[in-house]
Amino acid sequence: MRSADLHYGLPPELIAQRPVEPRDASRLLVYRRATGEIRHRVFGRLPLELTSELAVVNDTRVVPARLRVRRDTGGAAEILLVERLDGDGLWEALARPSRKLRAGDRLGPVELVASLGEGRWHVRVSGEPAGEMPLPPYIDVPLDDPARYQTVYAAVAGSAAAPTAGLHFTPELLSRLDVERVTLDVGLDTFRPLTADTLEEHVLHGERYRVERAAWQRIAAAERVLAVGTTSLRVLETVTRTGELSGRTRLFVTPGFEFRRVDALLTNFHLPRSTLLALVMAFAGVEETRELYRLAIEERYRFYSFGDAMLIL
Domain check: are 81 and 219 in the same one? no
Domain check: are 148 and 278 in the same one? yes
Is the pLDDT confidence value at 201 over 90?
no
113: domain CATH number is 2.40.10.240
Decide if 131 is inside a domain.
no
What whole-number distance in Å separates Cα of residue 226 and Cα of residue 25?
Answer: 20
What whole-number distance in Å separates Cα of residue 161 and Cα of residue 58?
Answer: 12
Domain check: are 20 and 143 in the same one? yes
The angle at the Cα of 299, spanning 194 to 58, to the nearest 5 degrees, equals 50
Q: Please, which pLDDT band fits residue 197 given cuts at 50, 70 and 90?
A: confident
- For range 90-115, the mean pLDDT: 93
Point out the domain boundary residue: 105, 125, 145.
125
Kindly report, residue by residue over 111-164, the tens digit of the pLDDT.
999 999 988 999 999 989 999 999 999 999 999 999 999 999 999 899 999 999
- Asked if the peptide bond before residue 19 counts as cis, ω within 30 degrees of 0, the response is no
Mean pLDDT estimate for the chain: 94
pLDDT of residue 28: 98
263 and 53 Cβ atoms separated by less than 8 Å: yes
- For range 295-310, the mean pLDDT: 98
57: domain CATH number is 3.40.1780.10
Query: How many domains are contained in the chain?
Result: 2
Burial label for 117, CB within 10 Å (0-12, 13-18, 19+), is: exposed
Domain check: are 212 and 141 in the same one? yes
- For range 46-71, the mean pLDDT: 96
Domain check: are 198 and 287 in the same one? yes
The angle at the Cα of 35, spanning 33 to 38, to the nearest 5 degrees, equals 75
The domain of 84 spans 66-125
The number of CA neighbours under 13 Å toward the Cβ of 156 is 11
Pairing of strands 61-62, 157-159: parallel
Q: Please, which pLDDT band fits residue 79 given cuts at 50, 70 and 90?
A: very high
Point out the domain boundary residue: 125, 149, 176.
125
What whole-number distance in Å separates Cα of residue 224 and Cα of residue 262?
Answer: 7
- What spatial distance separates the first Cα and last Cα of the chain, rounded to whole Å? 24
* Cα radius of gyration (the chain): 19
Domain check: are 168 and 241 in the same one? yes
pLDDT of residue 74: 86
Domain check: are 49 and 150 in the same one? yes
Q: Please, which pLDDT band fits residue 203 given cuts at 50, 70 and 90?
A: confident
User: Looking at residue 153, what DSSP letter applies?
Assistant: T
- For range 59-88, the mean pLDDT: 92
Is the pLDDT confidence value at 252 over 70?
yes
Tell me what percent of the residues of the chain surpass a pLDDT of 70: 99
Decide if 160 is inside a domain.
yes
| Amino acid present at 85 | L
Point out the domain boundary residue: 125, 154, 175.
125
Tell me what percent of the residues of the chain surpass a pLDDT of 90: 87
Decide if 130 is inside a domain.
no
The number of CA neighbours under 13 Å toward the Cβ of 176 is 14
Domain check: are 117 and 228 in the same one? no
pLDDT of residue 118: 84
Is the pLDDT confidence value at 287 over 90?
yes
Domain check: are 181 and 204 in the same one? yes
**Higher-scoring residue by pLDDT: 188, 78:** 78
Domain check: are 121 and 210 in the same one? no
Pairing of strands 120-125, 90-96: antiparallel
pLDDT of residue 190: 66
What whole-number distance in Å separates Cα of residue 65 and Cα of residue 67?
Answer: 6
Domain check: are 89 and 220 in the same one? no
Decide if 34 is inside a domain.
yes
Helices 275-284 and 286-298 cross at an angle (nearest 10°) of 110
Domain check: are 249 and 205 in the same one? yes
SS3 201: helix
pLDDT of residue 191: 62
pLDDT of residue 195: 77
